[in-house]
Structure 1
Amino acid sequence: MRTGYSRFKNISARLTASWLALALLPALSVLTACGTSESNVIQGNRDKILHLGNRAEPQSIDPHSVASVYDHQIAWALFEGLITLNPYTLQHEPGVAERWEFSEGDKVITFHLNPNARWSNGDPVTAHDFDWSFRRALNPKIASPMVESLYYIAGAEDYFNGVDTDSLGVTAIDPQTLQITLKNPTPYFLDILATMAVAYPVHRPTVEANGGADVRFSGWTRAETFVGNGPYRLSEWKLQQHLAVVKNEAYWGADKLGLEGLIYYPTTNESTEEKMFRTGQLHYTASVPYNKLPSYRAAEDARLRSHPLAGTGFLAINTHRPPLDQLAVRRALSLAVDRDSLAENVLTGTVRANARFVPWTLPGFENQVSTAADIEGARALLAEAGYPNGEGWPGLELSFPHSGSSRKSAVALQQMWKDALNIEVTLSSMEWQVYLSNYYESDYQLAAMGWVNSYMDAADSLRQFVTGDPNNTTHFSNARYDDIMQRLAPQAADRDERLLLMREAEELMLAHLPAIPMYTQASQHLVHPSVRGLPPNPLRYYNFRYVALTNE
């Protein structure tokens, strides 16, 4: 997933903390304790209400329209897919499906649904709900930002493109049995079902009564009309203030939930969020200001949680925009970046420099290439492109979302390019939604981005550069790359052959450089000692069935 939004075109999967912060929050309303002398944390521990920063105002809570990690963190509370993950081990656990089995060479998966699974209005959750929901998610009118995650299902891409709507590999055999047929054996498909909201069911009668199946951003996601099947249900959504959920008493595991509810705050400013945590208004922060991290680390403050992610911070390049249409210019910019200095000095050691696109946290990609700058090589390439010592340079704009950390990184890059290449780069900071809109319309030259995987496989890192992928705003297109990602790797005879193909795909991407990788990301959170069940993991995945509060 982007640490942002896809196909809004789509930030998938998950944009990263260092580039994600948004506009300043009108903070007064959230810094008070709702008119009482007790803090949110004290009240929350007593009433079992978790208060957490969630960085951004949700784009949507319709699971077929969400894409950012922050919107997924809400979807994981409101909906449940066929599978869930154990947040400590990332092993598969039952969701709506009690059990499942593979057949026909692992291409067919049969899911047996929990007969006690219920929607929040009491209706049973059936295999027909999933069948209908998969078809809605693949409806091009919905323009689901994460729709490509379903293309592993036989017939799914043809269904989305209107080529064949009769051969989708999803069948409700009976109300409690769902069968999914894949194009090829896909070892991480169960992870997709667990972590990607696009694979979650929606309540058909509610959707159809509030605009219909073809309408995106319709009224069914309002608190007064909402029906979900997750452990919690929507209670209140006040724009730019908070989104509250309460226990779904109809949920099949409601008696085992450790919380009565959660309140998400759009903590768009990192410093405000950290202050909210210190004053007892939050149990959990989405991030930590970089300038505060050294003091938390020096004090060995147990409330600071840091963990490497399966994610990459990078600069997306619009390869259709001069001068970035020249490979020599793209390579010169990449070689001039001192990734080690950016990671250690600018980002205070919170990330690990990486010149590969696939994060080192993924199996098979632990070995790194040099992250050192090559100033002479960068200058030679710039001269080759027709700009010796920056002469005749037409200018370049680096776009990034509002936030102190994003600006700090952008200013550092601007100075590196000035010092090494004698070129001017203009910085353009904008409000998050505007930034995303521009990004997914390819209305940028250079754009600061990030991606956190939804599953521990390089395919999730690299699929965004496939021709026609909703996340591919760079205009990169390579026939061999597409063939590897869409045909050869999925059909590989074994894991070793597939890994070699993934490495070849990454080398092709780096040779053409539609994006400049900077570092492997890490999560940084402040967590109150009373919180249980929110362990760090490389996917930044939360299973709210595990979360509880003590009276500490």
Structure 2
Amino acid sequence: MIDRIRRWFLLFLFSIFTVTSLSSCNPSRFKSKAAQVSQLVFVSPSDPDTFNPPISESLFSRIVFGLIYDGLINENGITAELEPGLAESWDISEDKRRITFTLRPGLKWSDGEPFTSDDIVFTYNEIYLNDKISTGVRDILRIGTSGGFPSVTKLDERRVEFTVPEPFSPFLRYAGGITILPKHILKDSINTTDGNGNLKFLSTWGTDTDPQQIIGNGPYKMVSYTPAQRIILQRNPYYWRQDSKGSPQPYIERIIVQIIENTDNQFIRFRSGELDSLDVAPEMFGLLKQEEKRGNYRIYNGGASSDTQFFGFNLNKAKNEKGEAFVDRIKSRWFNTLVFRQAVAYGINREAMKTNIFRGLGELQHSPVAMQSPYYLSPEEGLKVYTYDPQKARELLLDAGFKYNAQGKLLDWDNNQVRFTLLVKAEEKSRIDAAVQIQNDLNNLGIQADLQVINFNVIVQKLMSRDWEAYVGGFGGGGVEPHSSFNIWYSQGSLHQFNQGQMPGEPPIQGWEVSDWELEIDRLFEEGVKELDERKRQEIYGQFQQIVQEQVPFLYLVNPLSLQAVRDRINPIKFSALNGAFWNLYELQVKTN
């Protein structure tokens, strides 16, 4: 999300249930003595921003979307192999440019209406490929040097054909995984506008909508939403999946997404026995491990997380519609000086961060590509790294024309003190601790970073409006496919945060500049999706990683280990490093007392 939207942006695209932040509130609170039902409760650090999937930016909403929507195809949480979902089969043409999906017979939406190929064509052509709707999905679907998009054609009620203008390696995963929306509910909102000339779709399914009016095709449907407290979902009676005996799945009848901002409160709730599962932060691990047997839970270790955590500057040189610079011109000059960014990278002690904040339960991160990916370029293979070296950092700053005053404060070429605001979200203690260390490390270089700890939804708004200077943030892991992060690295992508361009529906911005290295990354991504030879793809994405490390738009920090505590009463857990403990929710059962 932007942040640890845990497997945030692309996991939503695949509509695969890969939520790793699970917990449960006191079950008795939601059960009568007469009817004990099976349930689990997920935890979210914030409220939703919308119930409209294509335009959502919050972690909470994306957790819910993984429950109320299914993909045409799904990804096995252990093997990452593609498996049938809403589509029972698919055929790929010899030239790799056409995919025909065949839907399962008798599919229905959660309101009982038929799910057909008309819904798929509507979703792609009228929503995701509609230039009046700002959605990151369109970035992911952009194809090669032509910048074109797939065409989607109905063949009959159960068959739909996707066609691409040129070879596109990740096409099957993307075409089969994106959330499909109900035409019979949303078609009118696409064809009408409000008083400001905006499509009504953009304000449809807001958080003020009755949750029971949100229609999905996944294992659960929404029942109620209480702001700042919880959302309750019940099993969708029209969901397609059945077990080998013909019994409907999922088996668990109710899901509750509890809104608990403070991780300490989540920790207390888990230790008291109220919660079924919890992401284990490094500072919690020691105590929770000691209590593992007594607490009737197991802590699963998936190795280094595939998420990315980073520190970065706002490199945007543009102005808003009033001619006001998004970033103060003096500060923008610092941020856009490559040697300044590299010096800061050498000045951050990430080893200390790993030891002190993450208790050694993590790995230094050097690349935007997950270490689990076959496309990852390691330091041993030549990837540039920034080993902590404050002396080198100071030398680079002095060589670039910066200087120190008698008090040891860093000044620029015009004697301006180097000082800026550093944003970090309030909901995650380890993120705040990392920001505090960065603040101290920068202070040792004579740089003053004023820490601003605020709610994540507020941070999202600041990022989208370009109202920020520096940020300690992160992105959820997109799996092993590098193109999953295209919307981050494409110069006109919706999550190109460090230099965000004009987005659909926004007031015009002036003077936006794209650097040569950003354009080179564009070219590499375009080349990478056309290339079908895996070895050549590895070389292409290796070049991309080298550019990122050289230019340092983000300084990557520490990947914590993927640790998750799950109560013994939930089975069968098939823990996955990429997808956590609950990717196979449909087959899980809860042993009730």
TM-score (norm 1): 0.85
The partner residue of 1:401 within 415, 425, 429 is 425
Deviation at 1:379? Answer: 0.9
Deviation at 1:210? Answer: 6.5
Matched with 1:291 is 283
Deviation at 1:132? Answer: 0.2
Q: Residue type of the partner of 1:412? A: Q
Matched with 2:452 is 428
Task: Render the CA deviation track for 1:232-288: whole Å, top value 9, x for unaligned.
Answer: 111111111111111111112261322112011122110111122223332223x33
The partner residue of 2:153 within 166, 171, 177 is 171
Q: Residue type of the partner of 2:306? A: A
The partner residue of 2:477 within 433, 453, 459 is 453
Matched with 1:512 is 551
- CA 1:141 to 1:364, structure 2 compared with 1: closer, same or farther past 3 Å? closer
1:546 correspondence with 2:570: no
Deviation at 1:99? Answer: 0.5
Matched with 1:12 is 9
Matched with 2:322 is none
Deviation at 1:103? Answer: 0.5
Q: Residue type of the partner of 2:583? A: Y
Verify the 8 A CA contact 2:348 2:388 in the aligned structure 1.
yes
Within-5 A mapping of 1:174-189: 174-189=156-171
Where structure 1 has 5 or more consecutive residues not aligned to the other structure, the ranges are: 16-29, 160-167
Matched with 2:395 is 380
Matched with 1:537 is 577
- CA 1:140 to 1:364, structure 2 compared with 1: closer, same or farther past 3 Å? closer
The partner residue of 2:257 within 264, 282, 292 is 264
Matched with 2:355 is 344
Matched with 1:18 is none
The partner residue of 2:437 within 402, 412, 434 is 412
Percent identical residues: 19
1:228 correspondence with 2:216: yes
Deviation at 1:31? Answer: 10
- CA 1:267 to 1:194, structure 2 compared with 1: closer, same or farther past 3 Å? farther
Where structure 2 has 5 or more consecutive residues not aligned to the other structure, the ranges are: 13-22, 193-198, 243-247, 317-331, 412-416, 500-513
- CA 1:216 to 1:548, structure 2 compared with 1: closer, same or farther past 3 Å? farther
**Counterparts of 2:139 and 2:90, CA distance in 1:** 23
Matched with 2:227 is 239
Task: Render the CA deviation track for 1:25-69: whole Å, top value 9, x for unaligned.
Answer: xxxxx99848xxx46799999511111212322222322223555
Deviation at 1:523? Answer: 3.1
**Counterparts of 1:531 and 1:75, CA distance in 2:** 22
Deviation at 1:95? Answer: 1.0
1:485 correspondence with 2:513: no
Verify the 8 A CA contact 1:41 1:283 in the aligned structure 2.
no
Verify the 8 A CA contact 2:46 2:59 in the aligned structure 1.
no
- Please, which moves more after superposition, 104-113 or 457-466? 457-466
Within-5 A mapping of 1:488-507: 488-507=527-546
- CA 1:145 to 1:547, structure 2 compared with 1: closer, same or farther past 3 Å? farther
Task: Render the CA deviation track for 1:115-174: whole Å, top value 9, x for unaligned.
Answer: 12111122221111101011212223332233312224999x657xxxxxxxx5111111
Secondary structure of 1:119's partner? coil
Verify the 8 A CA contact 1:78 1:229 in the aligned structure 2.
yes
Matched with 2:93 is 103
Verify the 8 A CA contact 2:301 2:563 in the aligned structure 1.
yes
Verify the 8 A CA contact 2:24 2:41 in the aligned structure 1.
no
Within-5 A mapping of 1:203-222: 203-208=182-187, 214=199, 215-219=201-205, 222=210
**Counterparts of 2:462 and 2:99, CA distance in 1:** 39
Secondary structure of 1:216's partner? helix
**Counterparts of 1:522 and 1:190, CA distance in 2:** 30
**Counterparts of 1:335 and 1:14, CA distance in 2:** 33
**Counterparts of 2:393 and 2:464, CA distance in 1:** 29
Q: Residue type of the partner of 1:216? A: L
- Please, which moves more after superposition, 324-333 or 42-51? 42-51
Give the RMSD, CA atoms, in angstroms. Answer: 3.1
Q: Residue type of the partner of 1:273? A: Q
Within-5 A mapping of 1:275-290: 275-285=268-278, 287-290=279-282
1:149 correspondence with 2:140: yes
**Counterparts of 2:24 and 2:592, CA distance in 1:** 22
Verify the 8 A CA contact 2:375 2:541 in the aligned structure 1.
no
**Counterparts of 1:186 and 1:209, CA distance in 2:** 33
Q: Residue type of the partner of 2:273? A: G
**Counterparts of 1:463 and 1:75, CA distance in 2:** 20
Secondary structure of 1:405's partner? helix
- CA 1:257 to 1:14, structure 2 compared with 1: closer, same or farther past 3 Å? closer
1:360 correspondence with 2:353: no
Matched with 1:330 is 341
Q: Residue type of the partner of 1:206? A: I
**Counterparts of 2:252 and 2:225, CA distance in 1:** 19
- CA 1:295 to 1:51, structure 2 compared with 1: closer, same or farther past 3 Å? same
Q: Residue type of the partner of 2:391? A: E
- CA 1:413 to 1:149, structure 2 compared with 1: closer, same or farther past 3 Å? same
- CA 1:98 to 1:171, structure 2 compared with 1: closer, same or farther past 3 Å? same
Within-5 A mapping of 1:1-40: 2-3=2-3, 12-13=9-10, 33=26, 38=28
**Counterparts of 1:450 and 1:530, CA distance in 2:** 33
Deviation at 1:395? Answer: 0.6
Task: Render the CA deviation track for 1:86-118: whole Å, top value 9, x for unaligned.
Answer: 223222111110001110422211101001211
- CA 1:108 to 1:31, structure 2 compared with 1: closer, same or farther past 3 Å? closer
Verify the 8 A CA contact 1:14 1:451 in the aligned structure 2.
no
Secondary structure of 2:530's partner? coil
The partner residue of 1:58 within 48, 59, 62 is 48
Secondary structure of 1:523's partner? strand
**Counterparts of 1:351 and 1:547, CA distance in 2:** 29
- CA 1:418 to 1:54, structure 2 compared with 1: closer, same or farther past 3 Å? same
- Please, which moves more after superposition, 431-440 or 182-191? 182-191
**Counterparts of 2:34 and 2:535, CA distance in 1:** 49
Q: Residue type of the partner of 2:232? A: A
Q: Residue type of the partner of 1:480? A: E
Task: Render the CA deviation track for 1:326-358: whole Å, top value 9, x for unaligned.
Answer: 111111110111212112211223321122232
Q: Residue type of the partner of 2:540? A: L
**Counterparts of 1:177 and 1:339, CA distance in 2:** 52
Verify the 8 A CA contact 1:315 1:515 in the aligned structure 2.
yes
- CA 1:472 to 1:521, structure 2 compared with 1: closer, same or farther past 3 Å? farther
Task: Render the CA deviation track for 1:165-184: whole Å, top value 9, x for unaligned.
Answer: xxx51111111001111344
Within-5 A mapping of 1:67-86: 67-68=57-58, 70-86=60-76
**Counterparts of 2:144 and 2:104, CA distance in 1:** 23
Matched with 2:329 is none
**Counterparts of 2:96 and 2:539, CA distance in 1:** 22
- Please, which moves more after superposition, 534-543 or 171-180? 534-543
**Counterparts of 1:510 and 1:462, CA distance in 2:** 17
Verify the 8 A CA contact 2:369 2:375 in the aligned structure 1.
no
Verify the 8 A CA contact 2:148 2:165 in the aligned structure 1.
no
